[in-house]
A and B are shown apart, each in its own frame.
Chain A
Amino acid sequence: MNTGVLLFDEQEMLHQLTHYLPSQTPLKDFVHHNTLHAFQHLPFFEGIHQASTVFGYRVFAELDEYRQWYKKGTIDDRILRRIIAEKKGPRQVDDWMQRMKHKTYDTRQTPRIGQFRNLWKEVLKIDLNALVHPILFRVLSNYLDQGIATWSFPVACTGLLEALLELERNSASSLFRTTKVRQLFRSGSYTLTQLLDELVGNTSYYDRYVFDQQFAHPGWSGMVAAIAQQPETLLAKRPVSLHDLIVFELLLELDALEFQTKGKWAPLAPLYQGKSLGLFDPMEVTELDEVYRLWQDAFEWSYYDQVLAALKVTSHGPEAASQSPQFQTPPQFQALFCIDDRECSIRRHVEQCHPHAETFGTPGFFGVPFYYLPKGSQAYTKLAPGPVQPRHLIKERSTSERRIKLQKDVHFNKHSHNFHSGWIWSQTVGFWSAVRLVDNIIRPSMAPMASSSLNHMDPTAELIIENEHPDDMENGLRVGFTVSEMANCVANVLLSIGLTYRFAPLVYVIGHGASSINNPHYAAYDCGACCGRAGSVNARVFSYMANKPEVRALLAQKGIYIPAETQFIGGLHDTTRDDMVFFDEGLLNVENRKSHDSYVATFTRALDLNAKERSRKFESINTKKSPERVHRAVRKRSVSLFEPRPELNHATNALTVIGGRYLTRDLFLDRRSFLNSYDYRIDPEGTLLLAILRAATPVCGGINLEYYFSRVDNDKLGASSKLPHNVMGLIGVANGADGDLRPGLPSQMIEVHDPIRMFFVVEQVPEIVLQAIKSDKNVYEWYRNEWVHLVALEPRTHRFYVFSEDAFVPYEPIGQAVATAPDLLTLFEQHRDALPVMLLQNKH
């Protein structure tokens, strides 16, 4: 087989495999991303079709679902007809309508992956998965374990194979059942290719075999690949590589075959009778695929068109006309929120509760990327969007010892697991458990085991924000920012949201986080722009910077004059509990302090209303009660052990508006929209827009597609129901004791989501938008391949231009009337389902 080695490139195979495997990092660093990122170099429909043919993923909603949506009117008949006409020609409309609405299709499919390796089962009647997976998962889980086991992996972790070899050589018991494989492993005289040689026997099938093998447990393989790429994601370091995993699995397979057949087996390749074995060989697009695509397009545009119809109204509105500063009195306070769709409604409530308030949206790390080191912590926490590599470190300097005192819960103590100490435990703590159980069920309350957004930072502790000495470096990170760096950070944010004049005396900078209990996916609830953490530190750091006189002096040189009496104040919005806290209130001047106290009442009212709005989708809460009482129930829900949906996160997200607030201020968007503030007038070159899109496209697109795919195939691309989940090694969840890891989102997070691609609306001249997206090929790929949709709203003519096939083409909404929302509180009480885009009445 020597000649074959030339054909098989081990490195290339590993590279390809890493590319296609799920890339979700351990739970504590959960960040949303496009589940099918491997196919993003292809146009959306083509990419998902490949994914579906090769890996057997469902990539659309069920055919019946689309038909139901059509019946209910969620899919608009006019839109559907228009899309068929565009794609298939006007004469084909009725024909396709007929097929889409009534024809029976066989929607089952058999994926390509796995077919080759399945021959072991078909021909030899040996279920290798059943024999190999349990021990393989167990070894992997124990090796990677971050602290569940009392007795952790006993060998110094230098690499999976090396550690296992060390264990095997010094142990009287073996992980292998046959002497042959045991000796082979202990001798160390084998390579990945040689093992494949033995098992498969034909070089041209090696790639295929390894893909089949690894995709039989994509969860664990993906986790290994992700850790190999970002070893720092584990607090207890565990060097590991896909190569080691594959070698170990091949050895286990060899062992199982030897054991089951007593040595009487032959390599797999000769058993294969079929034709080509290429996973990615050309694949056929069926009529059913076409039907799905048309339905999906129609489903999406039914919503998009609604949004555009509404934006058409607001972009013509009186407020839009009066954008020039002389028409406006300065607002009494301003508030910066994260662009997150969950902040969409709180901004509306704040503005409605206080007519002279103005809100802005910008990614929740507020333009200051850094690592954070709380007092007493053993590790840095990254507080920046996933792709950004921070170069600064912010340390906490605390005078009190409060922080270090971790609250303990005796039930998580590992002494309860030994028979001797456990004897005392069960005779004492056991009775306390009964009390806790009753208490927790009847009167849920915050507990040490919960994840609380407030725990992220000690608000009383001092942060080292300013760099004290240029040489003050730690692990290659500068401790604190220099004044000029601060000025740059602040200027960038203010410019990008268009807040360069008209400063109110108080500017709130409000990050967000979430609190939940019994929730391994807690990191997915926090701020995505802060790498799955709360945004409190960033808000506080930004405010400090913007308040610093030296920084303001430099800002003035850049043309941004912040009045001396203006003060920035950091805060944190807990999106699960709808609570808000503010930091460093003591630094406010007397005047601002007084106004702040009255604005706190505004925020409190807005939060109550927000809780009420959210509660309309919560079955267990009676929405009809007063906002205060609903809010109390919402808080209780967030700490209820038995509540698998403390909040609904990004479910239903579908829209990103990049433009002035006047476009959306009077719209009811039902918490479906990311809102990034942007002033086209100060960005004639599109450079600010590019910076916004660089962050917003992968963040919003990633969140949206993760929800999309987890929704349409919750079994393969999501994590299924979270109710039976078992936490493995603190890094992932699995079903039962010996199941594969389950990346993706659990069904409880996605069940109310509508699978719609993200729709970006940018308020800017189409040519400038085009220039901006084209100047970054990573950003451009998203739009060109239509993994997200893009529309430019020409600010002067108020016309829409859809981005399609490398160009912007004019788009006119079908002309549906935009409904005006009745009283919102009544609306919340009467509707549990998704609501259309509506105009708000009662203008202030």
Chain B
Amino acid sequence: MDHTLFLLFIFPLAGFISSLLISPKNEGALSWVAFTSVALQLLMGSYVFWVWLQGGFIPLSESDWALYRIPGYHFTIALYFDRITAVFLSLGTFLTFMVTIYSRYYLHREDGYKRFFNTILFFFLGYTFTALAGNFETLFIGWEMLGISSFLLIAFYRKRYLPVKNAVKVFSVYRMGDVGLLLAMWMSHHLWHDNIAFSKLVDYNWVDNYIQHHSGVSLFVSLMILLAAAVKSAQFPFSSWLPRAMEGPTPSSAIFYGSLSVHMGAFLLMRTSNMWEHQLTVRLSIGLIGAASAVIATGIARVQSAVKSQIAYASIGQIGLIFIEIALGWQTLALLHFVGNACLRTYQLLTSPSVVTYLIREQQYTDMTHHRTVERFLPRKMAYTIYTLCLKEWNLDSYLYRLLWNPLKWAGRKLDFLNFNRAIWGFVVTYSVGLFCLYNQAYLPSYAISRFIPELCALLGLVLTLKAFTERNRASMSWVMVMMSHFWVVLAIAFNEPFDFGQVHYYLSGVVVSGGIGFLCLRWMRQQANSLDLARFHGHSSHYPKTALLFLLCCLGLSGFPISPTFIGEDVIFTHIHTNQLVLTLFVALTFVVNGLAIIRMYARIFLGSADPTYVNY
């Protein structure tokens, strides 16, 4: 197999990189780069499509490029092009193309013109990665890029508080989906004893054979995939993030939350359907989630008086139906439905400001006195109850928050006795003990090593990261704790299974480098601003954009953003956890998730959310 599919990365990557190099003042060049790179990608896509067509629609797959290779583990970029890829890639490129033309004039003179196009192109690159992914690792890379670009576009108006708050909120919901995907990846390593390429899953009997023998594991993998899909597609019970994501400029909301990003859950399900279509439980779950979302989202959409929220919920309802179609195995219909829904919602969102003119005129010339809706047939008590529930969005927003983050916050608050010095010294002492034990394992009872020491270390990591997440006073303390939690995770794994220290170094080098630079950024920032508490939003990016960017890169590095050493380290770490170690898995996964949250929260609070760093706003 040649490298046809790799060609599809040339233009998105080139576009993104060149857009970074252009001066923010040069609007013309920025939009030209975006326009040209997406237009060329359209041509390139047509070429690949033609190749695929020539081959009689047989899926193309390539998996040559190993990013990282050690015995027993290799991290490979694998690509795959079939009908699903064709549809998602072509519609994605088409809509991105339209939106770049649209935004060229729409964003004119807007503060952040460059940032907007950088982020759109980054999104496009991530989208291409996801759509073309031939294995979970590649998919995860794209998936995370979509997550970060989402965060950046929701917080596009970074001087204002609400967009930033909502961006953090959406990111934290996304993070749950990431856990799902991470765990699915981990389990499938164990299931297939390899990082499985999607192309191999086409063999029905082969897959079926595996699944028959590992029904528990494969159920787990499938449900984790479903979790990731439901989060990304704002399905029940995660729906409430979608309307709150509509904080950026209208075209970015249209392309992200009206069409492309929000359908990625459906994509994930279709892409992995070979893994779960043999399992009735999974199909039922997908169908039920879809049905619940369709019904509930319709109810909420019907009472929305904000136009973008109305479109958001309407879109969730349709994606619910797409989930049902996928569960039933009607993939062609689901693909058609995706295309129709994506175009419809994009257009509706783009024209949403016109709703005032249109509806006011309609109202002026239509006799509305006899206008009634279907709800009039309901008994009064029922109608009012449903109305109230829909008005409150079934409390989805607050429940999600209370169920998931309040326990984390509660736990973190219990650790308030830890101040900076105690934390540092406590860490140095306990970690030295841990290291000593590691090199002198002979003195420890083997029962302890296999049963609870790894868990204990992971728990300490989790505790630190919880503390980092809830820290209100010192940013640098929070940052250091995130770094320390990584060290504990490594220790936990080191106890768990003897493995190559090269891997540890690879992992920790990522942590130390990005962590160290990030720490210096924070120290410097603190000198500039006197105090750097995390109790409010400082908005330092307005005065220190370069520091903000550098710190953002450090954040990505420290939180294990794909292709950063930390990420590969994390992935390696997971291969060293056994399938029966649920507690350890849970601790490690939670640590990674909360770390990501703590870091993004820190970035948001220090650099975003306020017009003037020292301006107190009530």
Residues in B whose Cβ lies below 8 Å from that of A643: 105-106
Report if B533 contacts A (CB, 8 A).
no
> In the assembly, what is the distance between CA of A170 and CA of B378, in Å?
13
Is the Cβ of B105 less than 8 Å from the Cβ of A726?
A: no
**Taking the nearest CB of chain B, how far is it from the CB of A419, in angstroms?**
4
Q: B364 interface residue, CB < 8 Å from A?
A: yes
A178 at the interface (CB under 8 A from B): no
Q: Which residues of B contact A212 (CB under 8 A)?
A: 618
Measured CB to CB, the closest approach of chain B to A526, in angstroms, equals 12
How far does the alpha carbon of A448 sit from the alpha carbon of B360 in the complex, in Å? Answer: 12
Inter-chain CA distance A118–B390, complex, in Å, is 31
**CB of B288 to closest CB in A, whole Å:** 14
Interface segment, one of A410-418, A477-485, A487-495, A688-696: A410-418
The CA of A740 and the CA of B565, in the complex, are separated in Å by: 43
A720-745 CB mask vs B (1 if < 8 Å, else 0) is 11111111111000111111000000
Q: A138 within 8 Å of B by Cβ?
A: yes
A436 is an interface residue with CB less than 8 A from chain B: yes
Least distance between B327 CB and chain A CB atoms (Å): 15
In the complex, which range does the number of interface residues on chain B fall in? 35 or more
* Chain B binder among A219-227, A516-524, A810-818: A516-524
Query: Which of the segments B137-145, B347-355, B599-607 contacts the partner chain?
Result: B347-355
- Complex Cα distance, B107 from A544, in Å, reads 46
A149, B305: Cα distance in complex, Å? 5
CB-CB < 8 A to A644: which residues of B? 106, 108
Q: A170-B380, A721-B157, A737-B243 are in contact. Are A727 and B102 (CB under 8 A)?
A: no
Once A175-B388, A419-B318 are accepted as A-B contacts, the answer to whether A110 and B616 lie under 8 Å apart by CB is yes
Verify A171–B385 contact, CB threshold 8 A.
yes
Contact between A111 and B618, CB atoms less than 8 A apart: yes
Interface footprint category on A:
35 or more
0/1 interface trace, chain A 737-770, chain B, CB 8 Å (1 if under): 1110000000010010000000000000000000
> Which residue on chain B has the smallest CB distance to residue A405?
B365
Is B383 part of the binding interface, using a Cβ–Cβ cutoff of 8 Å?
yes
Contact call A151/B303, Cβ cutoff below 8 A: yes
A503 to B101, CA, bound (A): 52
A-facing residues in B341-395 (Cβ within 8 Å)? 341-344, 346-348, 350-368, 373, 375, 380-381, 383-385, 387-392
Beta-carbon contact of A148 and B307 below 8 Å? yes
Cβ-based interface call for A207 (8 A): no
Q: Let me know if B196 is at the binding interface, CB within 8 A.
A: no
**Given A151-B375, A441-B101, A728-B305: A113 and B363 within 8 A (CB)?**
no
CB-CB under 8 A from B249, the residues of chain A are 721, 723-724
Q: Would you give the shortest CB distance from A460 to chain B, in whole angstroms?
A: 17
B160 adjacent to chain A (CB < 8 Å): yes
Interface locus among A246-254, A422-430, A464-472: A422-430
Does B521 sit within 8 A of A, measured CB to CB? no
The stretch from B58-66, B171-179, B228-236, B290-298 touching chain A is: B290-298
* Bound CA–CA A645/B243 (angstroms): 26
Which of B294, B337, B353, B611 is A715 in contact with, Cβ under 8 Å?
B611
Asked whether A412 lies within 8 Å of B365 as measured between CB atoms, the reply is no
CB distance from A50 to the nearest CB of B (A): 18
Q: Is A92 located at the chain interface by the 8 A CB criterion?
A: no
* Measured CA separation A155–B304 after assembly (Å): 16
| B106 engages A451 (CB within 8 Å) | no
How far, in whole Å, are A416 and B346 apart by their CA atoms in the complex? 13
Query: What is the distance, in angstroms, from B189's C-beta to the closest C-beta of chain A?
Result: 38
- Contact flags A627-651 to B (C-beta < 8 A → 1, else 0): 0000000000000111111000000
Would B346 and A148 count as touching, CB distance under 8 A? no
Pick from B156, B318, B353: contact of A422, CB under 8 Å: B318
Q: How many A-B residue pairs have CB under 8 A?
A: 304
Which of B309-317, B455-463, B486-494 lies at the interface? B309-317
Shortest CB–CB separation between residue B323 and chain A, in angstroms? 11
- Segment at the B interface, from A374-382, A570-578, A601-609, A673-681: A374-382
> What separation, in Å, do the CA atoms of A448 and B367 have in the docked complex?
19
9-residue interface stretch from A6-14, A139-147, A286-294, A582-590: A139-147
User: What's the minimum C-beta distance from A44 to chain B, rounded to whole angstroms?
Assistant: 25
Contact B306 A734 (CB under 8 A): yes
B252-263 contact mask (Cβ, 8 Å, vs A): 1 or 0? 010000000000
Q: Are B353 and A108 in contact (CB under 8 A)?
A: no
Residue of B nearest to A171 (CB): B384
B246 within 8 A of A: yes
- Report the separation of the CA atoms of residues A751 and B111 in the bound assembly, to the nearest whole angstrom: 12
Q: Quick one: closest A residue to B159, CB to CB? A: A715
In contact, A427 and B366 (Cβ under 8 angstroms): no
- How many angstroms between the C-alpha atoms of A170 and B163 in the bound complex? 36
Chain B residues within an 8 Å CB radius of A518: 350-351, 353-354
Please tell me if the beta carbons of A115 and B618 are within 8 angstroms of each other in the complex. Answer: yes
- Residues in chain B near residue A108, CB distance under 8 A: 612, 614-615
Which residues 605-622 of A have a CB within 8 angstroms of B? Answer: 619-620
In A439-461, which residues have CB < 8 Å from any B CB?
441, 448-451, 455
CB contact under 8 A between A167 and B615, given known A422-B317, A519-B353: no
Q: In the bound complex, do residue B306 and residue A433 qualify as a contact, i.e. CB atoms below 8 Å apart? A: no
Q: Does residue B248 face the partner (Cβ distance < 8 Å to A)?
A: yes
**Does B278 have its Cβ within 8 Å of any Cβ on chain A?**
no
Name, among A175, A411, A519, A720, the residue most crowded by chain B CB atoms within 10 Å (CB to CB). A411
Check B314 against A412 for contact (C-beta < 8 Å).
no
Minimum CB–CB distance from A701 to chain B (whole Å) comes to 27
A564 at the interface (CB under 8 A from B): no
- In the assembled complex, the Cα of A479 lies from the Cα of B337 at a distance in Å of 54
Bound CA span A139–B303, Å: 11
Apart from A141-B306, A155-B384, A518-B351, list 18 A-B contacts with CB within 8 A. Answer: A108-B614, A110-B616, A134-B397, A142-B303, A147-B368, A171-B381, A172-B385, A173-B385, A173-B389, A235-B364, A426-B337, A434-B94, A436-B347, A519-B353, A641-B351, A724-B163, A725-B250, A727-B352
Chain A contact residues, CB within 8 Å of chain B: 27-28, 56, 108, 110-111, 113-115, 117-118, 134-135, 138-139, 141-142, 144-152, 154-155, 167-168, 170-175, 212, 216, 235-236, 376-379, 404, 406, 409, 411-412, 416-420, 422-423, 425-431, 433-434, 436-438, 441, 448-451, 455, 517-520, 522, 619-620, 640-645, 715, 720-730, 734-739, 748, 751
A-B contact pairs, 16 of them (CB 8 A): A113-B618, A146-B363, A147-B362, A150-B373, A406-B361, A418-B317, A419-B294, A426-B337, A430-B344, A433-B343, A433-B344, A437-B346, A449-B358, A522-B356, A641-B350, A723-B250
